[in-house]
RNA sequence: GGACAGGUGGCCGAGCGGUCAAUGGCAACAGACUGUAAAUCUGUCGGGCGCAGCCCUACGUAGGUUCAAAUCCUUCCCUGUCCA
């Protein structure tokens, strides 16, 4: 590898990165013909991989394409503790079964991005469960309370008088110890994990190993544009979300987030991204179009070009042109609920499962959200005459076609 | 072990005997507008009842005082601060 190739490679690695600790060490490690071990720790607290995770996964994939091996670590042991990272409250621990179930779906989803033949899946319970109490205490002796408390979320919780479980302080150590066991050369993580990775470096040196290089990627804000994307906040796009939902969710991000999504979630060249930015500023390009382009590219990565196109068409049809979607799920209404072919509008919505409670149904009607065959229902006391095939709609996103049985 | 403070709706947070299904903010949902499930503005936001009303369940847990309790008392559980 000559100088230019090295620079080119580093440029690709740097794309979208928040921090590399350190680049000099990285240059040392990346040598032609050397297959590096690249660790990535996954937290199995939720079963779905979302686009936030893919920021790191995509970077791992890039490294795999240069021949390196990914150590995909499933933190089943740490899951039982509950990762305190970024949390202002203690996380409830998960049951063993739940973790294993999550780990399973994780693995299925992760290979939408990673290359399976260059991925080694490991569980940290394999060595953590084998440790006895003496070993745990000795490990704990390698670090100090002051250094652990440097961690932002601990420090903050402590200062604010919020509880911190003693076990939570152990979390960075365990995670660091994983790197020792795996003899990782590089670790990829989100910026919220940098502290843990630094502990890993320190422990590795203690154990006579060369410290891992940390490549930290930014945390992706979720659909609300403020909080980081996470399942528990419900502001995420799952990699298994159906094309249309994926597209819709991506269209709902605030405009100012488009470029970040472009950079971190698509392969668009940074040059053309700059061009888009200029065109947008000069009013040569409509923001909606840019966002749709971004969303379309991402959908096609997970569902293919054709599905993405369909999703775009469907989106325009429903939200821009205000027409009915192509596929409307059928909802069954028991004939026994009818009186002279009629049913109270509130009961209809409830029976169709379009509202969770009848009170909600009433609210929807009063707010003018309910349409039957495109016609607004005004009176919540109304009995409606129904027949097969009638389309009932609440708002812009809930549809059902009546089928009387 | 002791002293003190606190536990309220999905979250944050007011209320501290009746007018409390509980102010306000966030989130969510709906409407208007538009360029979208963006932004902005407006409204809704425990449940049941064919419903301008009535009823049920909710303010850590279990009891109690009272005509009346989220509000007062007691038990227990949980959290924090300080002292030991």
Query: What is the ipTM score, two decimals?
Result: 0.86
Phi, psi of A216 (to 5 degrees): -105, 135
Q: Which among A54, A12, A11 is positioned nearest to A298, based on CA atoms?
A: A54
What value does the mean pLDDT take over residues A208-215? 94
Confidence of residue A322 (pLDDT cuts 50, 70, 90): confident
pLDDT over 90 percentage in chain A: 64
What value does the mean pLDDT of chain A take? 90
The per-residue pLDDT for range A155-190, each reduced to its tens digit, is 888 888 888 888 888 889 999 999 999 999 999 999
Token match 């953590």: residue?
A128
pLDDT for A83? 63
Q: Helix, strand, or coil here: A5?
A: helix
Which window residues (236-255, chain A) lie with Cβ within 7 Å of strand B? 244-245, 247-249, 251-255
Whether the per-residue pLDDT at A246 is higher than 90: the answer is: yes
**How much is the pLDDT for A308?**
95
Round to whole Å and give the CA distance between A145 and A2: 45
Q: Tell me how far the alpha carbon of residue A347 is from its chain's centroid.
A: 37
Structure tokens at A324: 């009915």
Question: How many CB atoms are closer than 10 A to CB A373?
Answer: 11
Report the run of H or E that residue A125 belongs to, with start and end: helix A125-128
- What is the C-alpha R_g of chain A? 26
* Residues A85 and A32: beta-carbon distance below 8 Å: no
- In degrees and rounded to multiples of 5, residue A135 shows phi and psi of -65, -40
Confidence check: pLDDT of A144 > 70: yes
Strand B: which residues 78-117 of A lie within 7 A (CB)?
Answer: 89
Which bases of chain B come closer than 7 Å to a protein CB?
Answer: 12, 27-32, 35-39, 43-51, 79-81
User: What are A332's strand-pairing partners?
Assistant: A403
- Whether A164 CB is under 7 Å from strand B: yes
- Alpha helix segments (H runs only) across A287-357: 287-303, 305-315, 345-351
Report the distance from CA of residue A320 to the C1' of nucleotide B34 in Å, as an integer.
Answer: 10
Q: Which of A6-10, A76-80, A124-128, A188-192 has the lowest mean pLDDT?
A: A76-80
Å separating the CA of residue A120 from the C1' of nucleotide B39: 45
Strand B atom within 7 Å of A289 CB:
no
Euclidean distance between CA atoms A34 and A31, whole angstroms: 6
**C-beta within 7 A of nucleic chain B, residues 365-404 of A:** 367-369, 381-383, 394-398
Provide the 3-class DSSP secondary structure of residue A301. helix
pLDDT of residue A4: 75
Helix (H, G, I), strand (E, B) or coil at A236: coil
Band of residue A373 on the pLDDT scale cut at 50, 70, 90: very high
Evaluate if the CB of A47 falls below 7 Å from strand B: no
Closest residue, CA to C1' of B28: A234
Q: How far is the CA of A153 from the C1' of B6 (A)?
A: 22
Q: Give the pLDDT of residue A82.
A: 65
Q: How high is the pLDDT of residue A1? A: 65
What are the φ and ψ backbone dihedral angles of A93, each rounded to 5 degrees?
-70, 155
Higher pLDDT, A360 or A233: A360
The residues of A between 328 and 357 with beta carbon within 7 Å of nucleic strand B are 339, 344, 346, 356-357
CA angle, A21 as apex, A15 and A22 as ends, to 5°?
95
pLDDT at position A258 over 80: yes
Q: Compute the distance between CA of residue A247 and CA of residue A160 in angstroms, rounded to an integer.
A: 40
Is the Cβ atom of A59 within 7 Å of strand B at any atom? no
The predicted pLDDT at position A168 comes to 86
A385 - beta bridge partners? A342
Classified as helix, coil or strand, A315 is: helix
Distance A157 CA to B7 C1' (A): 18
Q: What is the per-residue pLDDT across A60-117, written as a single tens digit (0 to 9) for each?
A: 999 999 999 999 999 888 877 666 655 556 666 667 777 888 888 888 899 999 999 9
pLDDT of residue A92: 60
Residues in Cβ contact with A6 at an 8 Å cutoff, skipping those fewer than 6 apart:
A27, A30
- The model's pTM: 0.87
Amino acid A60: pLDDT:
95
Q: How far apart are CA A251 and CA A236, in angstroms?
A: 12
Q: Scan for tokens 């971004």, then name that residue.
A: A294
- Residue A400: is its pLDDT beyond 90? yes
């Amino acid at each position: 590898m000559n100088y230019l190739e090295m620079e080119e490679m580093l440029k690709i690695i740097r794309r979208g990165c928040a921090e590399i600790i350190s680049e000099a060490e990285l240059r040392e490690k990346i040598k032609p013909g050397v297959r590096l071990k690249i660790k990535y720790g996954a937290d199995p607290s939720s079963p779905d991989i979302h686009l936030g995770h893919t920021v790191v996964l995509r970077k791992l994939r890039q490294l795999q394409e240069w021949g390196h091996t990914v150590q995909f670590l499933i933190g089943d042991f740490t899951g039982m503790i509950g990762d305190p990272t970024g949390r202002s409250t203690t996380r409830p621990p998960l049951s063993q079964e739940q973790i294993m179930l999550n780990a399973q779906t994780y693995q299925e989803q992760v290979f939408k991005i990673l290359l399976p033949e260059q991925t080694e899946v490991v569980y940290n319970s394999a060595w953590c469960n084998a440790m006895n109490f003496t070993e745990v205490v000795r490990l704990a002796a390698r670090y100090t309370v002051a250094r652990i408390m440097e961690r932002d979320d601990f420090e903050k919780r402590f200062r604010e008088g919020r509880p911190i479980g003693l076990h939570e302080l152990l979390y960075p150590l365990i995670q660091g110890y994983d790197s020792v066991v795996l003899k990782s050369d590089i670790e990829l993580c989100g910026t919220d994990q940098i502290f843990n990775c630094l502990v890993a470096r320190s422990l590795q040196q203690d154990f006579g190993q060369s410290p891992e290089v940390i490549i930290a990627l930014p945390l992706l804000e979720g659909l609300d544009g403020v909080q980081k994307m996470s399942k528990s906040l419900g502001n995420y796009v799952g990699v298994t979300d159906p094309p249309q939902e994926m597209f819709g969710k991506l269209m709902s991000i605030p405009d100012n987030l488009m470029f970040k999504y472009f950079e971190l979630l698509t392969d668009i060249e940074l040059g053309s991204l700059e061009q888009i930015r200029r065109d947008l500023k000069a009013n040569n390009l409509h923001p909606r179009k840019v966002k749709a382009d971004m969303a379309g590219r991402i959908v096609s990565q997970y569902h293919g070009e054709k599905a993405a196109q369909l999703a775009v068409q469907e989106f325009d049809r429903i939200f821009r042109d205000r027409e009915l979607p192509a596929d409307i799920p059928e909802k069954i209404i028991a004939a026994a609920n009818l009186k002279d072919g009629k049913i109270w509008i509130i009961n209809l919505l409830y029976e169709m499962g379009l509202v969770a409670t009848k009170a909600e149904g009433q609210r929807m009607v009063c707010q003018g959200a309910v349409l039957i065959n495109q016609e607004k229902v005004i009176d919540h006391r109304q009995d409606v005459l129904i027949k097969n095939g009638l389309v009932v709609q609440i708002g812009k996103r809930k549809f059902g076609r009546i089928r009387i049985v």
